[in-house]
Amino acid sequence: MKRRDFLAAAGGALGALALPGAMGAAPAPRVLTATDVHVKDYPTVAAVRWLGEQLQRATDGRLQLRQYHSGQLGREAEAIDMARFGAIDITRVYSGALNNAFPLTRALCLPYLFESNGHLRHALDGEVGAAVLRGFERRGLVGLAIYDSGPRCFYNTRRAIVEPRDLHGMKIRVPVSDIFIRMLRDFGANPTPLSLGEVFSAMETHMIDGAENNIRSFQSSRHFEAAHYWSRSAHSYAPDVLLVSKRTFDSLAPRERDLLRDLGRASVAVMRTAWDASAADAQRIVEAAGVRANDVDVAAFRRAAQPLLAEHERDPAIAGLIRRIRALA
């Protein structure tokens, strides 16, 4: 289903609710919509599908969830706006796409702040994650959960990246985020903001030379078929965020709101189990396809990233999160 068709159907459904029903008839189940740009077997999609199953079971079918995966309802930026205004109910988006509108998410995306996936998970499960989730309600959203998504690394069609100077002159796709645009400039690349769905064709037509992402997205998007160089820079551990429209959330009964929050938290473990297994599978798939992986000079990349980190350490709100994250390393 395309986004236009979805919006038209949603409008028709709202109109139908206004029609007089049969006297004494049981109310129809309320169906919440959830979106994701990733494919149907991606760990975040699987986690939200589990959430929907549990929600339906716990409410005896009064609340149900309908998923639109694979970007059926548009890009992440569009999904954020649709959720804020109540056109969709739940969306999973990459934290980099949230940086400009929700500044606290920048702390989760900064380069070389997290030392490992374990460090990230420790931070997300505590006050750092809770503080970021609380920051969404001021602009029409409610944070349900933060899903980690592994280290982000560089991949490209031209050569192995070992140190920042190897990126000089290369056009590298980044999400629409000031942090990632600045980061790539500091590394010497030419950052090119594009949606995830545009990356494959952009590499094939030489509009860009490569991109940066986690291993699971590199594999599931088939980008490894165009880009044969994978450089283990692990320059960011920027996670994903599961959000619900505040309009939707406020329209639920208090008990239903508590249930949705609890299931959002519980879905993190489901996502992580699926992530760990699928990331290992993705690594095997891309290696078997002939992708050439290499280590990088991490110290050189850390030096290049230092001005960006120092700039955010001067922001009082973000500096507090940075200190907490470093204390958990």
Among 295, 273, 173, 281, CA closest to 227? 173
Residue 16 is predicted with a pLDDT of 44
My answer on whether 306 and 204 are in the same domain is: yes
- Say how far residue 290 (Cα) sits from the centre of its chain: 27
pTM over cut 0.85: yes
Number of domains the chain is built from: 2
Domain-embedded: residue 267: yes
Residue 317 is predicted with a pLDDT of 87
My answer on whether 45 and 117 are in the same domain is: yes
- Cα–Cα distance measured from residue 329 to residue 256, given in angstroms and rounded to the nearest whole number: 36
My answer on whether 50 and 95 are in the same domain is: yes
Quote the tokens at residue 26. Answer: 């049981």
Domain-embedded: residue 168: yes
Domain-embedded: residue 200: yes
My answer on whether 63 and 187 are in the same domain is: no
Domain-embedded: residue 6: no
| pLDDT of 15 over the 50 cut | no
My answer on whether 56 and 108 are in the same domain is: yes
Domain-embedded: residue 19: no
My answer on whether 90 and 223 are in the same domain is: no
Domain-embedded: residue 23: no
Residue 189 is predicted with a pLDDT of 98
My answer on whether 176 and 60 are in the same domain is: no
Q: Are 82 and 5 in contact, with CB atoms under 8 Å apart?
A: no
| pLDDT of 95 over the 70 cut | yes
My answer on whether 263 and 216 are in the same domain is: no
**Segments forming the whole domain that contains residue 81:** 30-149+238-282
| pLDDT of 2 over the 60 cut | no
The secondary structure element, H or E, covering residue 320 is helix 316-327
* pLDDT (average), residues 62-77: 93
Q: pLDDT per residue over 182-208, tens digit each?
A: 999 999 999 999 988 899 999 999 999
My answer on whether 186 and 270 are in the same domain is: no
Contacts of 51 (CB under 8 A, 6+ apart): 65, 263, 264, 266, 267, 270
Residue 176 is predicted with a pLDDT of 87
My answer on whether 36 and 77 are in the same domain is: yes
| pLDDT of 17 over the 70 cut | no
My answer on whether 233 and 243 are in the same domain is: no
| pLDDT of 217 over the 50 cut | yes
| CATH number of the domain residue 184 falls in | 3.40.190.170
Domain-embedded: residue 223: yes
Domain-embedded: residue 25: no
